[in-house]
């Protein structure tokens, strides 16, 4: 089971505290049994809220596929000739002519 995130702990704890206070004030109970029932209900509600907080998403299928397309397998470098293949991987240097980008004063 994954560990709860900080958001899950915060939302769950806040729900337990606020719902306990609200239910105790609304019900105006003073018996021990009433307080126990309200406390159990608040704990259950807090657990429900904590479990339904959306988890942070990891990379989706599309992002992982794009990242995988850009990576080179580790064994590919062992078989490739570094000297012959290095020039093919490097992009050409771009030069900018002065006439293309005139400077206006």
Q: Which distant-in-sequence residues (6+ apart) come within 8 Å of 39 by Cβ?
A: 20
Q: Which of 2-11, 12-21, 31-40 is least confident?
A: 2-11
Specify the 3-state DSSP secondary structure of 93.
coil
**pLDDT, position 45:** 94
The reply to whether 100 falls in a domain is no
Higher-pLDDT residue of 81, 30: 30
Question: Residue 43 half-sphere exposure, CB side, CA atoms within 13 Å?
Answer: 6
Question: Residue 24 half-sphere exposure, CB side, CA atoms within 13 Å?
Answer: 15
**pLDDT, position 92:** 72
The reply to whether 65 falls in a domain is no
Q: Which domain holds residue 40?
A: 6-51
pTM for this entry = 0.51
Mean pLDDT of the chain: 76
Number of domains in the chain: 1
pLDDT digits (tens, 9 = 90+) for 12-24: 999 999 999 999 9
Higher-pLDDT residue of 25, 69: 25
């Amino acid at each position: 089971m994954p560990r709860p995130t900080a958001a899950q702990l915060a939302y769950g704890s806040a729900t337990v505290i606020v719902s306990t206070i609200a239910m105790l004030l609304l019900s105006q109970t003073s018996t021990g049994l009433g307080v126990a029932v309200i406390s159990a209900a608040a704990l259950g509600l807090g657990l429900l809220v904590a479990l339904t907080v959306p988890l942070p998403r990891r990379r989706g299928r599309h992002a992982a596929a794009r990242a995988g397309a850009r990576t080179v397998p580790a064994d590919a470098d062992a078989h490739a000739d570094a000297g012959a293949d290095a020039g093919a991987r490097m992009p050409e240097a771009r030069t900018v002519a002065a006439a293309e980008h005139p400077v206006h004063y």
